[in-house]
Structure 1
Amino acid sequence: MMAALQDNKTMLRFEGIPGEDAESMRRCLIQMGAKIESNNEGWQVDGGAFRRPISVLHCGNSATTLRLLAIQVASLAEPVMLDGDANLRARDHSIIVQLLQDLGVEVSQGSGPERLPLLIKGPINNSSVKVDVSKSSQPLSALILASHSLNQEVKVETTGKQVSQAHGELSKQVAQQCGMPEFDITLNKWNVNPPSEVKIPADSSLLAFIHLFNHLHASDISVELETKDILYPEVLDSPIQGKIDLGMANDLITPIAALMCLQNGGEIVGVAHARHKESNRIEKTVEMLKSFALEVEATADGLRMEGGQEVAAPTEIVACFGDHRMFMTAAVLATKVGAELDSPRCYRVSWPEFSELVQMK
């Protein structure tokens, strides 16, 4: 996104294959005037100032794309509509809508069970704003990454206990690498100047599914990451047992819960905000794992598991709720006992090569 905002070319080199979330962002940026060519080396981005798209920006299943672009398009000062697939339409977007409104941006949205599309018309007019960081780091990240287009200083106050701090810190690092001054509590306009080449590391949280596969099949598949970034889940380097705080790594909830059931049991804490992911990842993890005869108890801020359980074949189609991490956990369990799963394409959001893992058995 930042590379698409400046006139020079930037080469993005990926460790692995970009998922559908990244493709959703790419598609939207092209609609706003960027040229992004895919080749054997990666993505060549040739950008410039964003322009109003002539049609709806469809964000697919990517809440990240929606939230980051929602603040960006406010700078166009013209109406822009953002939409998504059925799963994204059903998710709660109240935090980003509230942030836009608090910034003085006009927003209207779908009502009832579908919370999209959003119709957004800027510009940003207010000089101060409160940002709720208790459910997601992305609204603050979106504001930081869009601050290059501000027409006045904006004082930022965060409210609530911050979750996903590593993701928020990564967004600040990206902005600063692209020219943003050090961020304290105020944001000002700045010139976007990204590097000419950027290496995009693999999503290290996906290693949890390999850990689960190895346990189920007594195998020793290993993946050597070229780069360990700020998001690397160090919890995977230690025994999966006892009380584990996944507040900074909530994407690991479902596979770690499955591992705890099969190994020594334990408790996952600090993840109340996971109720606002692609699915209510706390309640739905309980429901999905129960299909495999794995008993999990939901708590106020996480999950509790007894160890030494045995996985069993489901008697019905396993519901994965359109959640890619839920599906991948279920698919790995199914390599042991067999199962029929719904949402069969959703893994492509984050890991297009996932099918290669489950086909090993």
Structure 2
Amino acid sequence: MEVAIKPVHALRGDVQVPGDKSISHRAVMLGALAEGETVIDNFLFGEDCLSTIRVVQSLGVNVHIEKDRVVVRGGGLNALREPDDVLDAGNSGTTMRLMAGILAGCPFFSVLTGDASLRRRPMQRVMQPLAAMGAGIMARSGNSYAPMAITGGDIRAITYKSPVASAQVKSAVLLAGLFADGPTTVIEPARTRDHTERLLSYFGARVEVKDKQISVWGRPNLPGRKVVVPGDISSAVFLLVAGAAMPGSDLLVRNVGINPTRAGALNVLIKMGAVLDIANERLVSGEPVADIRVLGGRLTGTQISGDIIPYLIDELPALAVAAAMAEGETVVRDAAELRYKETDRITAVVKLLGEMGADITEREDGFVIHGGRPLQGAECDSFGDHRMAMAAAVAGLKARGITRIKEAECVKISFPAFFDTLNSISVQ
């Protein structure tokens, strides 16, 4: 579908964003490996997370979907059964990579595939450590791309020094380590989002974290738990960027996850001059949560690089829009991982904002934006990428004229009600 975005004067209101996509995935997977009932409230009913549900159902797990929650009835680590058909992860890299770790520990044969976009994303980074743990695992193009065929079982614990800062690689190895005897350890080049470690601990697994070294002990007894999923900061940041860049805005986003390994975008926005008030901080199901209020004002350019990049990799399209609306230069470096997302987000961001009149230059590992130029409404390609569609919409709120976004339905992956939410808080 095509969506038209008209410019607005400000954003005002009190809203909540959908449940965190990363945590929703992991809650279903650990619920499937736990014994007994796991109830997941505020689950993200987006396309990616529904792919995870369908995959675990194909492995014999009872998953019941209610209006606003998911109930998973697991039978423990040894209860998964060989699927009758190929497992389809859809567009979800999290589903494919993390389930590969689980399937590596299961004593049967399985095949994981996905849509055309997912079949172009690199899988060797997950396959190498899983093969080192003893899994039989093969894929096309020299073991680089899905479909992946996995013969699991007889997994051994290892210490794996990851060459990439990837939460998905780390999580795949840790989940496979649940089926091994003794501790499985991942050493990261830089800390990445830690939802897997937190949720494993919450379910009762023994987990130790020492800076960039994470260990999990195998063969745990995992009882089912109630999990309340916080609002997804990767969705909230689009609203926060729009509010921060529009004088007169006053927007409250409630129940947002502020996990320090995900909150890098908040730090960058504050550095750019955004007026953010983070209040009502608390811990929910092992995750830090808060309410975030943003007041509109003036933004300035900044440098985004180094160790903070893994903490905001999914938020960079939104931050690029903030940079285009800011005064001065913003430089994004060390973000080559963006090229391996649902689309090449470096090229996509440069094309999108360039077509809207921004002064933006592509670099191999990021981009440079000279902000302050008036944005113009344009015909925008979403590239089938939910975050690019939302970035186009936020830019369109402050552009001159109408912005039209093609294939905008892809927002259903992470924020199905995104456009309705924007309409509800827009002041014309």
Smaller-chain TM-score bracket? 0.7 to 0.9
Secondary structure of 2:403's match?
Answer: coil
Q: Distance in 1 between matches of 2:406 and 2:129?
A: 34
Alpha carbons 1:11, 1:44 under 8 Å: kept: yes
Q: Distance in 2 between matches of 1:227 and 1:333?
A: 24
Alpha carbons 1:71, 1:143 under 8 Å: kept: yes
1:33-79: CA deviation from partner (whole Å, max 9, x where unpaired) = 11121224511111112111111111111100111100111222221
In structure 1, the partner of 2:302 is 242
In structure 2, the partner of 1:79 is 109
In structure 2, the partner of 1:177 is 202
Q: Distance in 2 between matches of 1:172 and 1:294?
A: 40
Query: What is the Cα deviation at residue 301 of structure 1?
Result: 3.7
- Which of these residues, 62, 65, 86, is aligned with residue 35 of structure 1? 62
In structure 1, the partner of 2:228 is 199
The verdict on how the C-alpha distance between 1:5 and 1:323 changes in structure 2, with shifts beyond 3 A counting, is: same
In structure 1, the partner of 2:120 is 90
In structure 1, the partner of 2:412 is 348
Q: Distance in 1 between matches of 2:346 and 2:109?
A: 36
Structure 1 residues 5-14 or 116-125, which shifts more?
Answer: 116-125
Number of equivalences = 353
In structure 2, the partner of 1:329 is 391
- Percent of paired sites with the same residue: 25
Structure 1 unmatched runs, 5+: none
1:75-111: CA deviation from partner (whole Å, max 9, x where unpaired) = 2222101111111112121211222222222222233
The verdict on how the C-alpha distance between 1:205 and 1:183 changes in structure 2, with shifts beyond 3 A counting, is: same
Alpha carbons 2:317, 2:349 under 8 Å: kept: yes
Structure 1 residues 172-181 or 234-243, which shifts more?
Answer: 234-243
* Residues 1:47 and 2:74 aligned together: yes
Alpha carbons 1:102, 1:129 under 8 Å: kept: no
TM-score calculated relative to the size of structure 2: 0.75
Q: Distance in 1 between matches of 2:351 and 2:116?
A: 21
- Which of these residues, 237, 255, 264, is aligned with residue 225 of structure 1? 255
The higher relative CO (CA closer than 8 Å, separation ≥ 6) is in 2
- Which of these residues, 319, 322, 327, is aligned with residue 381 of structure 2? 319
Query: What is the Cα deviation at residue 129 of structure 1?
Result: 4.8
In structure 2, the partner of 1:149 is 179
Code of the aligned partner of 1:12: I
Code of the aligned partner of 2:354: K
Query: What is the Cα deviation at residue 125 of structure 1?
Result: 4.3
Secondary structure of 2:323's match?
Answer: helix
Q: Distance in 1 between matches of 2:237 and 2:157?
A: 43
Structure 2 unmatched runs, 5+: 1-28, 274-298
Alpha carbons 2:109, 2:151 under 8 Å: kept: yes
1:307-332: CA deviation from partner (whole Å, max 9, x where unpaired) = 21111122xx4233222111110123
Q: Distance in 2 between matches of 1:183 and 1:22?
A: 27
The verdict on how the C-alpha distance between 1:242 and 1:91 changes in structure 2, with shifts beyond 3 A counting, is: same
Code of the aligned partner of 2:98: L
In structure 2, the partner of 1:6 is 34
- Judging by fraction of residues, say which structure has more strand: 2
TM-score calculated relative to the size of structure 1: 0.88
Code of the aligned partner of 1:207: A
The verdict on how the C-alpha distance between 1:192 and 1:143 changes in structure 2, with shifts beyond 3 A counting, is: farther
Secondary structure of 1:222's match?
Answer: strand
Code of the aligned partner of 1:206: S
- Which of these residues, 242, 256, 265, is aligned with residue 319 of structure 2? 256
Alpha carbons 1:5, 1:192 under 8 Å: kept: no
Q: Distance in 1 between matches of 2:97 and 2:363?
A: 28
Q: Distance in 2 between matches of 1:149 and 1:348?
A: 34
1:228-271: CA deviation from partner (whole Å, max 9, x where unpaired) = 43433432444253223441111111111111111123223342
Alpha carbons 1:107, 1:120 under 8 Å: kept: yes
The verdict on how the C-alpha distance between 1:334 and 1:63 changes in structure 2, with shifts beyond 3 A counting, is: same
Query: What is the Cα deviation at residue 227 of structure 1?
Result: 5.2
Code of the aligned partner of 2:391: T
In structure 1, the partner of 2:25 is none
Secondary structure of 2:178's match?
Answer: helix
Code of the aligned partner of 1:205: S
Code of the aligned partner of 2:206: P
Alpha carbons 1:293, 1:312 under 8 Å: kept: yes
Secondary structure of 2:406's match?
Answer: coil
